[in-house]
Amino acid sequence: MDEAELVEAIETNAAELLMTMGAAGGGEQREDGGVRWTIGGSPIDYHNAVVEAELEDSATADQVVGESLARMKELGVPGCWHVGPSMRPADLGERLVRAGFTYGGAEPGMAVELANLIEPTATGGLEIVRVADDETLAVWAETLGRGFGEGEKEARWVAEVYRREGYGDPWRHYLGLLDGEPVATTTVFLAAGVAGVYFVMTVPEARRRGIGAAITLAALREARDSGFAYGVLGSSPAGKSVYESLGFREYCSIDLYEWSAATD
């Protein structure tokens, strides 16, 4: 893939993940007029998501922004626009802020050719297992809830979505055990011809030991062995250096614009 193709794959993989999870959660799906969103299927703003907007003019942009906000209010959920490089018009972020959304920061969009993964130093006592049943998923969710995003609330919702979706491709979930104790999670989502990495989390007491890098590497090795050539992800600013240590490079940025009923 060239750079433009990688940027497209980063955006599309994330969009497909959010749309798929939203549908599994019972969200309202819109896919028309250059607009894609899933709203109402999650209690988490990040997952009530507008993931595509290629709008021809300012009036249309303001109309769609207003329609998304109205649906969030009517369905009683917080929500988020994920504004990537493909979204138009160029001043979409400014229009979202004027409408009442709050800028929530940017996620670096990163990619790596899986043949060029850099192997980190092994972490002694670490075992990484594939989640293949409800019992292991429950442990995965409890672990995720100890340090990711909105904690137990988000972890419970994510696990319920995964349980409904089942344990085969395009989903692959991994649990990291350190000396037999669950300490880390990640998910790989196979879409847009690439392996997308999500929900990488190490519990606070086990951080700075290379566990996040190790579980990410193990998941991507399996994707490579299945024939995938590239891995992609949207990083937190804090996690960027971890992914760079594996060979990831930043190719774009995804800006987040959030709305919460509590601040309306």
Taking only the tens of pLDDT, the chain with its 264 residues reads: 999 999 999 999 999 999 999 999 999 999 998 999 999 999 999 999 999 999 989 999 999 999 999 999 999 999 999 999 999 999 999 999 999 999 999 999 999 999 999 998 888 999 999 999 999 999 999 999 999 988 899 999 999 999 999 999 999 999 999 999 999 999 999 999 999 999 999 999 999 999 999 999 999 999 999 999 999 999 988 889 999 999 999 999 999 999 997 644
What values do phi and psi take at 119, rounded to 5?
A: -85, 120
Same domain flag for 142 and 225: yes
Question: What does DSSP say about strands 194-202 and 181-191: parallel, antiparallel, or unpaired?
Answer: antiparallel
Which pTM was predicted? 0.95
Closest CA to 107 of 236, 245, 248, 242: 236
Amino acid identity at 103: Y
Same domain flag for 118 and 225: yes
Same domain flag for 126 and 241: yes
Same domain flag for 118 and 239: yes
Structure tokens, 149: 């995003």
Same domain flag for 29 and 68: yes
Same domain flag for 9 and 96: yes
Same domain flag for 161 and 178: yes
Report how far apart the first and last C-alpha atoms of the chain are (Å, whole number): 42
The total domain count for the chain is 2
Closest CA to 62 of 53, 51, 72: 53
Quote the CA–CA distance of 197 and 200 in Å, as a whole number: 7
**Domain span including residue 197:** 113-251
- Phi-psi sector, 18: left (phi>0), alpha (psi -120 to 50), beta: alpha
Structure tokens, 32: 């028309």
